[in-house]
Amino acid sequence: MSPKRGMAPIRRAEIVTATIRCLARDGYAGLTMKRVAAEAGVSAGILHYYFPDKRAILAAAAARVTGDLDRRVAAAARGARGARGRLRALIRTCLEVATRERAVWTVFIEFWGEALHDRDLAELNARSYARARRLLAAGLAPGFADGTFRSPDRREASAVVLALLDGLSLQLTFDRGLMPVGRAARLAEAALLAYLGGGRRVAPRRSARASRPPAETGGSR
pLDDT tens-digit profile, the chain (221 residues): 555 666 788 999 999 999 999 999 999 999 999 999 999 999 999 999 999 999 999 999 999 999 999 999 999 998 899 999 999 999 999 999 999 988 999 999 999 999 999 999 999 999 999 999 999 999 999 999 999 998 768 889 999 999 999 999 999 998 888 999 999 999 999 999 999 985 554 444 554 444 444 443 334 43
Burial of 66 (0-12, 13-18, 19+ CB in 10 A): middle
Based on C-alpha coordinates, what's the Rg of the chain?
Answer: 22
Same-domain status, 42 and 65: no
Asked if 46 and 144 sit in the same domain, the reply is no
Q: Is the pTM of this model over 0.85?
A: no
Residue 37 falls inside a structural domain = yes
Q: Domain check: are 25 and 116 in the same one?
A: no
Let me know whether 36 and 69 are in one domain. no
- Where b means 16+ CB within 10 Å and e means fewer, 177-193 reads eebebeebbbbbbebbb
Same domain, 101 and 21: no
Number of domains the chain contains: 2
Q: Please give the residue range of the domain that contains residue 90.
A: 61-196
What's the gap between Cα 86 and its chain centre?
A: 16
